[in-house]
Structure 1
Amino acid sequence: MAIRMRYRMLSGFASTLNRLMSSTVVEPSVAVGHTSANSENSSRVFRTNESNPVNHGESHLGLFYTVPQDVKQLLFQHGGLPKSFEKQVKTFQETCIMVRSPALEIMEYMKAADYSGPAIRYVLFGKSGCGKSVSLSHILHFGLVSGFLLIHVPWVPNWFRRCKESSNSTTKDGYIDLPLDAAAWLIHFKNQNAPLLEKLNLTIGKEYVWSKREVTEKGAPLTELVNFGINRVKYASDIVVAVIKEIKELSTSKKCKTLVVIDGFNAFFSSKTRIKSDDKTLVLPSKITLTEAFLEITKFDWCNGGVVLTVDQLAACDERTGSDFPVYQLGKEGFEHLDPFVPIQIEEYNHKEINSCIDYYIDRRWLQSPNAGTEEGRKELAFLSSRNPYQLMKICGPL
């Protein structure tokens, strides 16, 4: 009996030793694979040192550029980057945007545009998660560097789905004001354009009477009107409309050059919102005061500026999931409002872009799997994500 027990113990020890030896043999091959992936990645170029979007060209396509921290603070302090991308920025401790063809195409058009004619409208469209909002951020940075006065709406549906407060308009029957959201937008506008507003010294062209004691005189600085809307939230919605109309006049008279950037523009033409009137019925977007302001600035009756918009399935409150094309997402009314416009489709990553993104994730340690940098690993990630930028980011997180 004792001999059998000793034999079993020796057999167990031998099998354990064999397992350890076999794992010791396998480990170096895994390490070698990891090293070869690293050496391969080190030879790949996925960044560019050119941080000025005005200088971006075809040689920068598929490469990441770093947005300076002061620019990021100026442009995106009050929104503009998708929430998932913003989390990634905080994790990586840097704001890197890939130079992609649709954004570069719009910037080239804007460089060559004739600004003496009506403002040209550009519409970015494509599947959800393909990078429309991030490309819009690239264009916004281009506008800042190029000296445009920026009129930027980070995400239109936020007003119609999660408004902070609503009230009946005191100036227009049947209209709804969003005073806190309007004041927040005025703060966003003021912060984004602070250096340019100080330099241009723009003044308003008419008198505005808000109450018996509150008047904004003709010839007052535009910033005075903006500050009044921030401090007197009750009038903020009407002041946004006034500011937009003043900027149209100032731009047309060539006192400033204006770039309008709106994400989720098709939300203005949805069949409903989540805002309720006094009789508990859902309010149409056309009956919200802020809608008037941004439909006004996207008309073609002004010049010395440009308009860049996105349409997105996620923006429509009525969930128009049938097609990504602008004619479907905007509907008849929205399409006729923008026509004519330049449609630009943004698609999934191409071969160079997805490899560049994988290299960037490996560099940032967002992607830590030893096999991720190999050709097989890259093909698998491309297949699982369908080359969709958002899906790729989600898949790489746990790896």
Structure 2
Amino acid sequence: MNVARHSRGRNATVSQILNLSRCFNKAFLSKQARKEEIPSVVTSSNDVLSVSERDLGKLYVTPRREFEKIFPHGLQTSFMKEVQSSSQAGILVRKPALDIINHLRNHSQSNTSPMRFIINGPDGCGKTLTLAHIIHYCCKANWLVVQIPSVFEWVYSRNKVRHNMHDHQTFDQPQEALEWLRNFKTLNASHLTHLKTTSKHTWGKVDVTKSGQPLGVVVDQGLQKPMNATDAISVLLREIAKVKDRKILFAVDEFNGLFGTTSVQDPDKQLVHLKSLNLISHFQRLLTDLLSANTSATVASLSRTGMLHTRSRGFGLRDLLPHTWLQQLKPYVNIRVEEYSDDEMTSILEYYAHIKWLVASRDQKTVTEIRFLTQRKPFAVQKICSTC
């Protein structure tokens, strides 16, 4: 009797193990099947340095942690929600970004051709992500990257400003300056120990940075004493403009904001003129300083989204940039970013389905509706798929 009961118990145990084994095998095969879906929409190599023309219309994927190191400030809110949801950043390989990257990749110091690119196009068509792709490439290729993630956040800021200690007619933006220094340090940590100051710099009545000190000392001066943050950026940019032994990328999103209007108010609640904002002046000067540097590249993206008091109905260069600055920037390459092509639309919808950003069925009716409602504009596609 006990033997029979023991035999049945052993058989039940064996049966449970077999069932558990089948479940594991099924889960493993299901996981493998999901992995096999990836190559149809994702590049064969997710290394941004190896992305090429054969990858056009596909996405390269970066783990969330790596992406956040390169973009500590983040990108558009909707895109960052997608990154957080999927724990990865998928960026579509598009011709505008690849054209600029190929030019940067093939450029040499003996080449005097222009290294200035202005990205423009209709609202919501992916100019910011095009710029992000280029920044990612340059970071991985060991360029020194000087980036302004959002000019509009500076010129339309509601944070307090203070009179500059050296020039009371101008204003510092301590909070914006501190954030920029933190991001710059994160992005360029490997460069800041090797690059040295070329002259002595005095901070107030006491602090001094001697010639030959690492540029990281200048950054830390601004981070440790917020009242010096804006001046630290001024010193840093002047020193960067003198660098000749490495490639420099000056990347600006909402570039036209450097030449427009401002809603910043001084301590007396009076509007501050753009020319009186030191952050803006410092970066305008860097732009001018780098015009003759053949080891540097300026990549600027135009935007109307979030722009206040605009009367412009167009989104072209002449609509958004002053004539005088366009003349100074010559020669430049005009890079236009358009709506998704049919192939790009197919790839992005497949990717969204893969990461569960799009949970609705991708039947022909749904796809047709998404195309119609979004007009194939990347920002609108991303937003509407998050609700499907």
Q: TM-score range by the shorter chain?
A: 0.7 to 0.9
Which residues of 2 match residues 201-240 of structure 1 at below 5 A? Answer: 201-240=194-233
**TM-score normalized with structure 2 length:** 0.85
Q: How far, CA to CA, are the matches of 1:305 and 1:365 in structure 2? A: 40
Aligned residue number for residue 375 of structure 1 = 364
8 A contact 1:269–1:286 mirrored in 2:
no
Amino acid at match of 2:263: R
Aligned residue number for residue 48 of structure 1 = 43
Aligned residue number for residue 382 of structure 2 = 393
Q: Among residues 344, 347, 365, which one is paired with 1:356 in the alignment?
A: 347
Give the match's secondary structure for 2:128.
Answer: helix
Amino acid at match of 1:294: F
Aligned residue number for residue 132 of structure 1 = 127
Evaluate the alpha carbon distance shift between residue 303 and residue 165 of structure 1 in structure 2; reply closer, same or farther with a 3 A threshold.
Answer: farther
Evaluate the alpha carbon distance shift between residue 308 and residue 43 of structure 1 in structure 2; reply closer, same or farther with a 3 A threshold.
Answer: closer
Structure 2 stretches of 5 or more lacking a match?
1-32
Q: For residues 132-173 of structure 1, what are the alpha-carbon distances to aligned partners after superposition, in whole Å with 9 as ceiling and x for unaligned?
A: 111111111100111101101111111122253201112224
Q: How far apart are 1:119 and its partner, in Å?
A: 6.4
8 A contact 1:265–1:315 mirrored in 2:
no
Q: For residues 340-375 of structure 1, what are the alpha-carbon distances to aligned partners after superposition, in whole Å with 9 as ceiling and x for unaligned?
A: 3111000000010000111111112222223xx233
* Alignment of 1:61 onto 2:65: no
Which residues of 2 match residues 269-348 of structure 1 at below 5 A? Answer: 269-270=259-260, 272-299=261-288, 300-314=291-305, 316-348=307-339
8 A contact 2:159–2:175 mirrored in 1:
yes
Q: How far apart are 1:67 and its partner, in Å?
A: 1.3
Q: How far, CA to CA, are the matches of 2:187 and 2:38 in structure 1? A: 38
Give the match's secondary structure for 1:129.
Answer: coil
Evaluate the alpha carbon distance shift between residue 187 and residue 62 of structure 1 in structure 2; reply closer, same or farther with a 3 A threshold.
Answer: same
8 A contact 2:114–2:333 mirrored in 1:
no
Note the aligned Cα RMSD (angstroms): 2.2
Evaluate the alpha carbon distance shift between residue 331 and residue 367 of structure 1 in structure 2; reply closer, same or farther with a 3 A threshold.
Answer: same
Aligned residue number for residue 263 of structure 1 = 253
Aligned residue number for residue 184 of structure 2 = 189
8 A contact 2:114–2:332 mirrored in 1:
no
Task: Using the aligned pairs only, state the percent identity.
Answer: 28
8 A contact 2:254–2:302 mirrored in 1:
yes
Evaluate the alpha carbon distance shift between residue 386 and residue 208 of structure 1 in structure 2; reply closer, same or farther with a 3 A threshold.
Answer: same
Aligned residue number for residue 6 of structure 2 = none
Q: How far apart are 1:278 and its partner, in Å?
A: 4.7
Give the match's secondary structure for 2:241.
Answer: helix
Q: How far, CA to CA, are the matches of 2:180 and 2:93 in structure 1? A: 28
Range moving further from structure 2, 343-352 or 318-327: 318-327
How many correspondences in the alignment? Answer: 352
Q: How far, CA to CA, are the matches of 1:69 and 1:398 in structure 2? A: 22
Give the match's secondary structure for 1:297.
Answer: helix
Give the match's secondary structure for 2:293.
Answer: coil
Range moving further from structure 2, 117-126 or 178-187: 117-126
Evaluate the alpha carbon distance shift between residue 355 and residue 118 of structure 1 in structure 2; reply closer, same or farther with a 3 A threshold.
Answer: closer
Evaluate the alpha carbon distance shift between residue 281 and residue 192 of structure 1 in structure 2; reply closer, same or farther with a 3 A threshold.
Answer: same
Range moving further from structure 2, 42-51 or 296-305: 42-51
Amino acid at match of 1:76: F
**TM-score normalized with structure 1 length:** 0.83
Which of the pair has more CA radius of gyration? 1
Q: For residues 184-228 of structure 1, what are the alpha-carbon distances to aligned partners after superposition, in whole Å with 9 as ceiling and x for unaligned?
A: 111111111113334xx1110011112221111111111001100
Evaluate the alpha carbon distance shift between residue 394 and residue 43 of structure 1 in structure 2; reply closer, same or farther with a 3 A threshold.
Answer: closer
Q: How far, CA to CA, are the matches of 2:267 and 2:231 in structure 1? A: 20
Q: Among residues 93, 99, 108, which one is paired with 1:105 in the alignment?
A: 99
Amino acid at match of 2:207: E
Amino acid at match of 1:168: H
Q: How far apart are 1:113 and its partner, in Å?
A: 2.1
Evaluate the alpha carbon distance shift between residue 120 and residue 77 of structure 1 in structure 2; reply closer, same or farther with a 3 A threshold.
Answer: same
Evaluate the alpha carbon distance shift between residue 208 and residue 315 of structure 1 in structure 2; reply closer, same or farther with a 3 A threshold.
Answer: farther
8 A contact 1:82–1:134 mirrored in 2:
no
Amino acid at match of 1:363: H
Which residues of 2 match residues 17-56 of structure 1 at below 5 A? Answer: 45-56=40-51
Structure 1 stretches of 5 or more lacking a match?
1-37
Q: How far apart are 1:122 and its partner, in Å?
A: 0.6
Q: How far, CA to CA, are the matches of 1:204 and 1:171 in structure 2? A: 21
8 A contact 2:161–2:267 mirrored in 1:
no
Q: How far, CA to CA, are the matches of 2:232 and 2:109 in structure 1? A: 27
Give the match's secondary structure for 1:343.
Answer: strand
Q: How far, CA to CA, are the matches of 1:381 and 1:278 in structure 2? A: 48
Q: How far, CA to CA, are the matches of 1:360 and 1:216 in structure 2? A: 50
Q: How far apart are 1:338 and its partner, in Å?
A: 2.3
Q: How far, CA to CA, are the matches of 2:347 and 2:45 in structure 1? A: 16
Q: How far, CA to CA, are the matches of 1:315 and 1:309 in structure 2? A: 17
Q: How far, CA to CA, are the matches of 1:318 and 1:224 in structure 2? A: 40
8 A contact 2:222–2:229 mirrored in 1:
yes
Q: How far apart are 1:42 and its partner, in Å?
A: 5.7
8 A contact 2:64–2:84 mirrored in 1:
no
Evaluate the alpha carbon distance shift between residue 220 and residue 42 of structure 1 in structure 2; reply closer, same or farther with a 3 A threshold.
Answer: closer
Evaluate the alpha carbon distance shift between residue 70 and residue 44 of structure 1 in structure 2; reply closer, same or farther with a 3 A threshold.
Answer: closer
Evaluate the alpha carbon distance shift between residue 119 and residue 242 of structure 1 in structure 2; reply closer, same or farther with a 3 A threshold.
Answer: farther
Amino acid at match of 1:261: A
Q: How far apart are 1:303 and its partner, in Å?
A: 3.2
Q: Among residues 136, 143, 157, which one is paired with 2:138 in the alignment?
A: 143
Evaluate the alpha carbon distance shift between residue 142 and residue 284 of structure 1 in structure 2; reply closer, same or farther with a 3 A threshold.
Answer: same
8 A contact 2:97–2:130 mirrored in 1:
yes
